[in-house]
């Protein structure tokens, strides 16, 4: 069976049904990362999930195994029946008909397991000091590399590389995504909302959104997935050049930025310990404060965003909107007043403080000063969100 072909087929059928990876995973009782591994061709679904997958995607088992639609519907159904009979053979029948084969296979498997345990023990001793799988509440070890780039137009792009363990040199998972924590309105973005009807059934629909974080833009998401799929097939594990990306076709996303971020990530120091509550995926969060007026009669509005990966805050965005203008733009264009420039410098100090301390807490010297105390209120909201 062709794993990549089956993965692409599952992805195509899922998208045709307008089901997200997370929704699909919830229906099957697995994680969205598991679904992603299927669709990237890294693993095949467990045979016990075949019926549920086919039911949700409205396909035949033979179509799932072939990675394409059957050309003859009747033939497909007949083969499906045969396959499911094989899958449902009881263990008692197997013991009766294949007893000798099972005994021989068990001996061979036991020998292979013994060899594997010996090799694993030697390998573990070789990498002295590496942590084993932790118990609940203990710190967790994981091999991870990443790079983040913040651009002048408000976009923040992130490239992450995940490893199965600390001993491997080639990532098993590549992730690329961009979010914008700054501008309150960008065109063509939408999100999925859900409601429960009178019968208790959940239904989903699309709504427009004011911010490109946690949401979708078809063209951008399509190219982000193309980047992930391309790196997953190439299995890059060292710095590359633009020539290595010849087969990657992009229009909306800059190939130069993808190359730059990947090379920064692959040459960065591996993260191998990141706390008691590991977060492998990349959550993005944006919070906008209430609008306040001060002595100058201008409206102040904090916009706070961050990216967190592997339990660490990897990027913090703090933007102050004054009336209809952004403080960073005023400084960049040389239009900021002396007071506004001081505010901007303090914002940079706050960002540095958060990244150093890895906490959303203001220095005592700034917390009680207007308008910084309102930024502190925003951080309290973030803490409440993380605590849920």
Do both 79 and 56 map to the same domain? yes
β-sheet bridge partners, residue 216? 190
- Residue 118: domain span: 91-126
- The per-residue pLDDT for 240 is 96
> Is residue 127 predicted with pLDDT exceeding 50?
no
For residue 137, is it within any domain?
no
Residue 141 has pLDDT above 70, yes or no: no
Q: Note whether 338 and 312 are same-domain residues.
A: yes
pLDDT of residue 131: 40
The mean pLDDT of 215-225, rounded to a whole number, is 85
- Tell me the three state secondary structure of residue 131: coil
Shared-domain flag, residues 96 and 80: no
Element (H, E) at 194: strand 190-196
Report the distance separating Cα 277 and Cα 142, nearest Å: 12
> What is the average per-residue pLDDT within 52-65?
86
CA distance 164 to 268: 17
pLDDT value of residue 133? 45
Q: Do 259 and 191 form a contact (C-beta atoms < 8 A)?
A: no
pTM of the model: 0.58
- Give per-residue pLDDT as tens, 95-109: 555 566 667 777 777
* Structural domain includes residue 200: yes
The CATH number covering residue 28 comes to 1.10.260.40
CA 281 to CA 276: how far, in whole Å?
15
Q: Give residue 83's pLDDT.
A: 54
Q: Quick one: which of 160, 182, 184, 190 has its CA closest to 172?
A: 160
- Whose tokens are 């020998």? That residue is 111
Mean pLDDT, the chain, rounded, equals 79
Task: Please classify residue 354 by burial: count the beta carbons closer than 10 Å to its beta carbon, then call 0-12 exposed, 13-18 middle and 19+ buried.
Answer: buried
- Considering the domain architecture, whether residues 260 and 307 belong to the same structural domain is answered as no
Residues 321 and 255 in one domain: no
Question: CB of 338 within 8 A of CB of 350?
Answer: no
Given 266, 295, 320, the domain boundary residue is 266
Please check whether residues 288 and 191 belong to one and the same domain. no
Band the pLDDT of 257: cuts 50, 70, 90.
Answer: very high
Q: State the total domains in the chain.
A: 4
| Gap between the Cα atoms of 308 and 317, Å rounded | 12
Q: Are residues 239 and 162 in the same domain?
A: yes
Are 291 and 257 in a shared domain?
A: no
Which residue(s) pair with 162 in the sheet?
144, 173
Confidence of residue 384 (pLDDT cuts 50, 70, 90): low
Residue 273 falls within a domain, yes or no?
no
In terms of domains, do 161 and 242 share one? Answer: yes
Extract long-range pairs of 147-152: CB within 8 Å, 24+ residues apart. 147/261, 147/262, 147/264, 147/265, 147/268, 148/261, 148/307, 148/314, 148/315, 149/257, 149/260, 149/261, 149/264, 150/315, 150/317, 152/332
Across 19-33, 181-195, 209-223, the highest mean pLDDT is recorded for: 19-33
- In this structure, is residue 100 part of a structural domain? yes
In a domain, 28, yes or no: yes
Does the residue 277 lie in any domain? no
Q: What is the pLDDT of residues 260-305, one digit of tens each?
A: 999 999 999 887 755 554 555 556 778 877 777 766 677 888 888 8
Q: Examine residue 35 and state whether it is found in any structural domain, yes or no.
A: yes
Query: Is residue 54 in some structural domain?
Result: yes
312, 342: one domain: yes
Cα 106 off chain centre by: 39
Q: Are residues 83 and 181 in the same domain?
A: no
């Amino acid at each position: 069976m062709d794993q990549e072909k089956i993965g692409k087929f599952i992805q195509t059928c899922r998208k045709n049904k307008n089901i997200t990876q997370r929704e699909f995973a919830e229906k099957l009782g697995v994680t969205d990362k598991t679904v992603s591994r299927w669709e990237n061709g890294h693993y095949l679904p467990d045979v016990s999930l075949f019926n549920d997958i086919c039911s949700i995607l409205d396909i035949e088992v033979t179509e799932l195994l072939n990675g394409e639609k059957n050309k003859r519907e009747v033939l497909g159904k007949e083969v499906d029946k045969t396959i499911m009979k094989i899958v449902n053979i009881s263990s008692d029948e197997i013991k009766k008909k294949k007893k000798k084969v099972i005994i021989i296979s068990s001996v061979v498997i036991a020998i292979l397991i013994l060899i594997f345990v010996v090799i694993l023990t030697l390998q573990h001793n070789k990498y002295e000091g590496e942590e084993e799988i932790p118990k609940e509440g203990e710190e967790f070890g994981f091999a991870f590399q990443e790079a983040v780039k913040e651009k002048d137009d408000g976009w923040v792009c992130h490239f992450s590389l995940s490893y199965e363990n600390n001993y491997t040199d080639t990532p098993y998972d590549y992730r690329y995504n961009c979010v914008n924590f700054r501008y309150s309105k960008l065109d063509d973005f939408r999100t999925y909302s859900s409601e429960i009807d009178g019968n208790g059934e959940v239904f989903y629909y699309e709504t427009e959104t004011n911010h490109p974080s946690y949401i979708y833009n078809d063209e951008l998401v399509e190219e982000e997935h193309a980047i992930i799929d391309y790196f997953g097939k190439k299995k890059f594990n060292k710095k590359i050049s633009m020539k290595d990306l010849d087969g990657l076709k992009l229009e909306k996303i800059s190939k130069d930025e993808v190359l730059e971020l990947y090379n920064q990530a692959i040459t960065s120091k591996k993260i191998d310990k990141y706390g008691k509550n590991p977060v492998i995926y990349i959550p993005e969060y944006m919070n906008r404060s209430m609008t306040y007026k001060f002595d100058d009669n201008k409206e102040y509005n904090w916009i706070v965003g961050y990216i967190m990966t592997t339990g660490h805050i990897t990027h913090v965005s703090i933007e102050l909107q004054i009336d209809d203008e952004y403080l960073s733009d005023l400084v960049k264009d040389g239009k900021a007043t002396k007071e506004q420039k001081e505010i901007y410098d303090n914002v940079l100090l706050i960002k540095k403080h958060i990244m150093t301390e890895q906490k959303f807490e203001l220095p005592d010297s700034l917390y009680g000063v207007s308008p910084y105390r309102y930024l502190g209120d925003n951080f309290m909201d973030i803490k409440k969100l993380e605590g849920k």
